[in-house]
Amino acid sequence: MKKAGLLLPAFFLVFAGVAQDIAIIPEPVQLQKKSGVFTLTASTGIEVNTTDAAVQRVVQFFKNDVRQASGFALSELSGGNNVRSNVIRFELKKTADKQLGDEGYTLDVSPERVVISANKAAGLFYGVQTLYQLLPKEIAGKTVVEGVHWTIPAVSVTDYPRFAWRGLMFDVVRHFFTKEEVKRFIDDMVQYKYNLLHLHLTDDQGWRIEIKSLPKLTEVGAWRVEKYGRFGTFSPPTPDEPRTYGGFYTQDDIRELVQYAADRFVNILPEVDIPGHSLAAVASYPELSCTPGNYQVNSGEKFMEWGVGSAGFSALIDNTLCPANEKVYQFLDKVFTEVAQLFPFEYIHMGGDECAKNFWEKNAQIAALMKKEKLKDMHEVQSYFVKRVQKIISSKGKKMIGWDEILEGGLAPGAAVMSWRGAKGGIAAAKLGHEVVMSPNSHVYIDFMQGDIIMEPPVYNSLRLSKTYQFDPIPEGVNPQLIKGGQANLWTEQIYNMRHAQYMAWPRAFAVAECVWSPKEKKNWNDFIRRVEKHFERFDVAETKYAPSMYEPMFTINKNDKGQLLVELATEVEGLDIYYSFDNSFPDRFYPKYTAPLIVPKDASLLRVVTYRGKEQKGRIITMPVEEIKKRAAKKK
CB-based contact 189:291 (threshold 8 Å): no
Looking at residue 16, its pLDDT comes to: 34
Averaged pLDDT of the chain? 94
Catalytic residue among 203, 204, 301, 493: 203
Catalytic residue among 175, 200, 277, 535: 277
6 pLDDT above the threshold of 70:
no
Element (H, E) at 512: helix 508-517
Structural domains of the chain sorted by starting position, each given as residue range(s) with its CATH number in brackets: 19-159 (3.30.379.10), 165-401+488-501 (3.20.20.80), 552-635 (2.60.40)
* Secondary structure of 139-177 in HEC code, one letter for each residue: HHCCCCCCCCCCEEEEEEEEECCCCCEEEEEEECCCCCC
Mean of pLDDT values over 87-116: 97
Under the banding of pLDDT at 50, 70 and 90, the label for residue 81 is low
Question: CB-based burial of residue 303 (10 Å sphere; 0-12 exposed, 13-18 middle, 19+ buried)?
Answer: middle
CB-based contact 492:171 (threshold 8 Å): yes
Looking at residue 78, its pLDDT comes to: 82
- Spacing of C-alpha 625 from chain mean position: 32
Cis peptide before 275 (omega within 30 of 0): yes
Looking at residue 11, its pLDDT comes to: 35
Under the banding of pLDDT at 50, 70 and 90, the label for residue 3 is very low
Looking at residue 637, its pLDDT comes to: 66
Mean of pLDDT values over 198-212: 98
Looking at residue 20, its pLDDT comes to: 41
CB-based contact 74:89 (threshold 8 Å): no
Give the separation between CA 411 and CA 191, rounded to whole angstroms. Answer: 36
Respond yes or no: is residue 535 known to be catalytic: no
What φ, ψ does residue 261 adopt, rounded to 5°? -65, -45
2 pLDDT above the threshold of 50:
no
CB-based contact 383:268 (threshold 8 Å): no
CB-based contact 245:307 (threshold 8 Å): no
Element (H, E) at 579: strand 577-581
Give the separation between CA 579 and CA 621, rounded to whole angstroms. Answer: 10
Q: What would the pLDDT profile of 342-361 be if each residue is shown by its tens digit?
A: 999 999 999 999 999 999 99
CB-based contact 169:489 (threshold 8 Å): yes
Q: What would the pLDDT profile of 289-344 be if each residue is shown by its tens digit?
A: 999 999 999 999 999 998 887 788 999 999 999 999 999 999 999 999 999 999 99
367 pLDDT above the threshold of 70:
yes
Q: What would the pLDDT profile of 554-568 be if each residue is shown by its tens digit?
A: 999 999 999 999 999
Helix (H, G, I), strand (E, B) or coil at 301: strand
Looking at residue 8, its pLDDT comes to: 37
What φ, ψ does residue 361 adopt, rounded to 5°? -60, -25
Under the banding of pLDDT at 50, 70 and 90, the label for residue 519 is very high
Minimal CA–CA distance to 493: which of 188, 204, 239, 178?
204
Looking at residue 311, its pLDDT comes to: 80
* Secondary structure of 345-409 in HEC code, one letter for each residue: CCEEEEECCCCCCCCHHHCHHHHHHHHHHCCCCHHHHHHHHHHHHHHHHHHCCCEEEEEHHHHCC
CB-based contact 597:609 (threshold 8 Å): no
Q: What would the pLDDT profile of 101-115 be if each residue is shown by its tens digit?
A: 999 999 999 999 999
Give one DSSP letter per residue of 457-506, joined into a string. Answer: PP-S-B--HHHHHT--SS-TTS-GGGEEEEEEEE--TT--SHHHHHHHHT
Looking at residue 495, its pLDDT comes to: 96
Looking at residue 82, its pLDDT comes to: 63
Looking at residue 635, its pLDDT comes to: 84
Respond yes or no: is residue 354 known to be catalytic: yes
17 pLDDT above the threshold of 90:
no
This prediction has a pTM of: 0.95
Alpha helices in 26-177 (DSSP H): 53-70, 121-134
5 pLDDT above the threshold of 80:
no
> Which residues are CB-contacts of 112 (< 8 A; sequence separation ≥ 6)?
38, 85, 86
Under the banding of pLDDT at 50, 70 and 90, the label for residue 10 is very low
CB-based contact 561:571 (threshold 8 Å): no
Respond yes or no: is residue 326 known to be catalytic: no
Torsion of CA 16, 22, 28, 33, to 10 degrees: -50
CB-based contact 268:197 (threshold 8 Å): yes
CB-based contact 115:89 (threshold 8 Å): yes
Looking at residue 310, its pLDDT comes to: 76
Give the separation between CA 6 and CA 21, rounded to whole angstroms. Answer: 13
β-strand pairing of 565-570 with 598-599: antiparallel
Looking at residue 636, its pLDDT comes to: 75
Query: Over pLDDT 90: what percentage of the chain?
Result: 92
